[in-house]
Amino acid sequence: MDTWAVDLANTGAVYPWQGSELIMVIIAVALWILWHICQLRGEKEEFAEDIKKYGSKESIKKALDDHPV
Amino acid sequence: MSLSGGLMVAYLISKGDAFWTYSGGLAGIITASAGNDLYHPIQAFLIGGVGIWIAYYLHYWVEKTFKIDDAVGAVAVHGYAGFLGVVIAGFVLWGYPSSPYEGYAAINPLGNTIGAVIMFFVLGFVPAWVVSKILDGAGLLRVPREVELMGLDFKTLHEEEQARDDVRAAEKALV
């Protein structure tokens, strides 16, 4: 775009980097998948650490006693 | 899309911290807002993510370096992300017309950076600093040190605890 003095009825897309939509979609999908890999990996590590630290029967029983239903 | 970008990046860099994840969504929107009328949705997504990524680390850098507390992250979310949003728009929208009328410069990084300084420093920081100095001079900026240390809700919590003890004592007297 080099001017806004246009008839919008005759104007198509106005976003920058037109023509690179496919690349942007590929980048976005790749980041979206990567995010899920990182998220699941991080969550798995966190839960494994929780179980290692507090997963004994005594700890769980104590937690149930501390927070009665 | 900018909300998504902000949420996703904030979740990763804060290791799933709920406060920063939700703040990150807001920071994403704020970062993209300077050019959101022109960005492609995926550009808004990426810019939103970049904004909170920088704002998050800037927040802790300022806190550690200058010992300035930003307890709710408002300066990071609105200030840093907002400032970055204007600067980023200067690069991404470089060459776009800034006005429908003749005689106005096209959008460019230098112009947007100067605009961001005017908006955030001259119109934001300076008036707030002057007002804060006036409040400080009048002794209205901070609560007394003892109250600050014990917490503003100390009296309320103390009274609640006292009331609970009274109820407990009254109930025991009925047994």
What number is the ipTM of this complex? Answer: 0.77
Same domain, B33 and B78: yes
Tens digits of per-residue pLDDT, B106-162?
999 999 999 999 999 999 999 999 999 999 999 898 888 888 888 888 888 888 888
**Residue A17, Cβ neighbours under 10 Å: how many?**
13
Same domain, B133 and B150: no
Same domain, B48 and B134: yes
Residue B106's DSSP bridge partners are B97
Per DSSP, which regions of chain B are E strands? none
Same domain, B13 and B53: yes
Same domain, B160 and B172: yes
Q: How far is B144 from chain A (nearest CA, A)?
A: 37
What type of residue sits at position B21? T
Same domain, B91 and B170: no
Query: Rounded mean pLDDT of B40-57?
Result: 97
**DSSP assignment string, A7-52:** -GGG-----SSTT-HHHHHHHHHHHHHHHHHHHHHHHHHHHHHHHH
Domain carrying residue B118: 2-142
- Give A60-64 contacts, CB < 8 A, sequence gap 24+: none
CATH assignment of the domain containing B63: 1.10.3430.10
| pTM of structure | 0.81
User: Are the CB atoms for B47 and B39 separated by under 8 Å?
Assistant: yes
**What's the total number of domains in chain B?**
2
Taking the Cβ of residue B100 and every Cβ of chain A, the question of whether any pair is shorter than 8 Å is answered with yes
In chain A, residues 10-69 whose CB comes closer than 8 Å to chain B? 13-17, 21, 24-25, 27-28, 31-32, 35, 38-39, 42-43, 46
